[in-house]
Amino acid sequence: MKRLPIFALLLVFAFGYSVKAQEAKDFRFTLKTNPLAALGGPLYVLFVPITGEYKVLFEAKTTKKQSIEVGTSYLGPSVLLNMDQLTDKDSISGVKTSGFRVQLTYKFFLTKESAPEGFYVGPHVSYATARIRNKDNPDDDFKASKLNMDILFGYQLITSGGFTLNIYTGLGYKLRDYDFAEGTDFNFDYGNKAAPNVAFGFTFGYAF
């Protein structure tokens, strides 16, 4: 009988610790990025990236099982392959690459964890645009833009310390518009195209 109060105290302590741990994991916001995107952004010619992407994403919990994520990116030269290396140095002394990307995802979480943690599904839309200009002649340029509309499937892990890892894939549709200035010196052509899209990637950051 003397052991009962001690056991009861242990149960109360364990329950209190569990509640405290859950409260510590009740994150409402996440801030994420992916430095590897600097190797190749959302715009490609064949399999060659024409930009690198430098992005920040912010996610906010909207309900117990839902969240919204917005992102913005600067599109500059790819760290993997700078477009300046592909130009004909006899006609172009160099090129300048600049642009931006915006994106929006709404997530519905499917597992027992509270948003923004666990498996999720949701619509995603992004728009990217960039311009590559001849440094000697700004009117000699190449403009590229792409609109993505996808359904994403992913899993977001959040540790008790706030470290966040988000891995996702998805299927959708992309609309691409590549526009070359008349008489351009750029020596490749990709054209305009609408096609199915397969998304895959990851981001990591901090939850709070």
Q: Domain with 127 in it: what CATH number?
A: 2.40.160
Count of structural domains within the chain: 1
- Dist CA 6 CA 141 (whole Å): 78
pLDDT per residue over 84-120, tens digit each? 555 555 555 577 889 999 999 999 999 988 999 999 9
- The tokens for 68 are 């919204």
Let me know if residue 66 belongs to a domain: yes
**Can you tell me which residue has the tokens 């510590």?**
24
Position 10 in a domain? no
Torsion of CA 189, 194, 200, 205, to 10 degrees: 80
Q: What is the pLDDT of residues 156-167, one digit of tens each?
A: 999 999 999 999
Q: Tokens 């300046």, residue?
A: 84
Domain of residue 175 covers: 27-207
Q: What is the pTM of this model?
A: 0.78
Look at residue 132 and tell me if it is in a domain.
yes
Strand pairing partners for 27?
none
